[in-house]
Structure 1
Amino acid sequence: MSVTPTVHSALTQAMDRLLAGTPQHSDGSLTVATLAREAGISRASAYRAGDVLEIFWQRINERSSGPDVPATLRERIQELHGQLREARRARHEEITDLRQSVDTLAQRVQALTLDNERLRAELARQSTVTVLLTAGHRPG
């Protein structure tokens, strides 16, 4: 999918600022969300600009694997990228589980509310009241 020339230009300029370490509208982290924020567009629009994103990731990889970055640091960067992916996956799973729990609990609350209303209506229909007497008390 493609984007307008204006969006393409905004993304390219934002990418250049981020990679130069001179962000104007974001925290400067090298993510698609930050790129979109820096360009002043939605994340969905940024994802439609596949060619710009490909260049963005390519330039990020070049930075982290250049000759001025020691091999151990490159390995650490790759390891951290893997940990970040795993943390995001785990967070997504947790959010999905929590949403399912909320749905289940909402259904149970609704069922209990309906039961409570039914029992209150049944109690209201019963016209007889039984008075329980304690020792030493007589109806008067």
Structure 2
Amino acid sequence: MNVSEAARQALREAMDRLKAGNPLRTDGAFTKENLYKEAGISRATMNRATDIRAEWDQYVAEHGRRTEGEARRDTDIDSLRKRLRDKTEECAALRRKLHAAATVIAALHHDNQALREHLDSHSGKVINLDSQRAK
């Protein structure tokens, strides 16, 4: 079955736009549905252009179904996920350190309180060390 030269030209231009990531009528995904819609022809007309369809199938097999924009987006998402994972681990480590520091501070506060009570019970007063150092 023959396909008009205009339909063939429309399919080739549609392929070029899809490959370049500049679709006019579709979302730009590498699908046959987008190919015929981008070309502005029917699916039946595209199916009769077996040589162009074979070129399309070969291109998709070699380059995958993702457009350059989709591949770039997926790479960016992977990079952001890694950064998020790293920051989450960093936050967890800092949270553990903060918890440990709070535990130590609480223990020191308790010890300080106990020492003050001990001093108060034995000498009756707490001596300010800063005033003693000045002498």
* TM-score grouping bracket, smaller chain normalisation: 0.3 to 0.5
Greater share of residues in helix: 2
TM-score by length of 2: 0.45
Looking at both structures, which has the greater relative contact order when contacts are Cα pairs under 8 Å and sequence separation is at least 6?
Answer: 2
TM-score by length of 1: 0.44
Bigger radius of gyration: 2
